[in-house]
Amino acid sequence: MKKVAKKKIKKAPRKVKANFPKLPKIELATFGGGCFWHVQLEFSKIPGVIKTEAGYMGGKDRFQNPTYEEVCTDKTGHAEVVQITFDPKLVSYFQFLEVFFKNHDPTQLNRQGPDVGSQYRSIIFYNSPKQKKEAQEFLNHFQQTLSKKIMTLIEPAKPFYIAEDYHQNYLVKKGLDSCMI
């Protein structure tokens, strides 16, 4: 019988475990309730919000990365929206729904106050089936408390296009609490 030579097996280098801080699980929420300046201000006040961005969503596919001027023509189909990045351990989607419906008139069609056009429509863009369900349930319950019909749309999120820099945190930059006259 032949002797079989034993092969030396090299051990893999020991893995070093780094102690990086655990990043929070983040989610997105997207709402359009008229001019995005006031909507952004209200959402940015909520603890657990990581950032808010004013932008455009829900337009025709052929209009990618529209400008404010293009959106204002009412031809692109985009709504002025605020996209919220948040930590769901610190703030619930339900809280955003409460703030959203408290801070605009959901019974107006394609307008908020003096701002008129489909870009000012009341709309919730959901980013998950759970958000869709919560938004529908909240809207149905809230409708029972009003005499007018709620015009708020609930649609799946589409590509988000960030608005021009001068729109970001506009009211904060100007030291204002509201853009209403």
Residue 19 confidence (pLDDT) above 80: no
Residue 131 confidence (pLDDT) above 80: yes
Query: pTM of the predicted model, to two decimals?
Result: 0.84
CATH number of 27-174: 3.30.1060.10
Residue 83 confidence (pLDDT) above 90: yes
Residue extents of the structural domains in the chain: 27-174
Number of CB atoms found within 10 A of residue 3's CB:
5
Residues acting as catalytic residues: 35
Mean pLDDT of 141-166: 95
User: What was the pLDDT predicted at 181?
Assistant: 44
Residue 134 confidence (pLDDT) above 70: yes
User: What was the pLDDT predicted at 175?
Assistant: 81
Nearest 5 degrees, angle CA 78-CA 146-CA 125? 25
CA distances from 102 to 25, 33, 98, 163 (A): 27, 10, 6, 24
The residue type of 177 is D
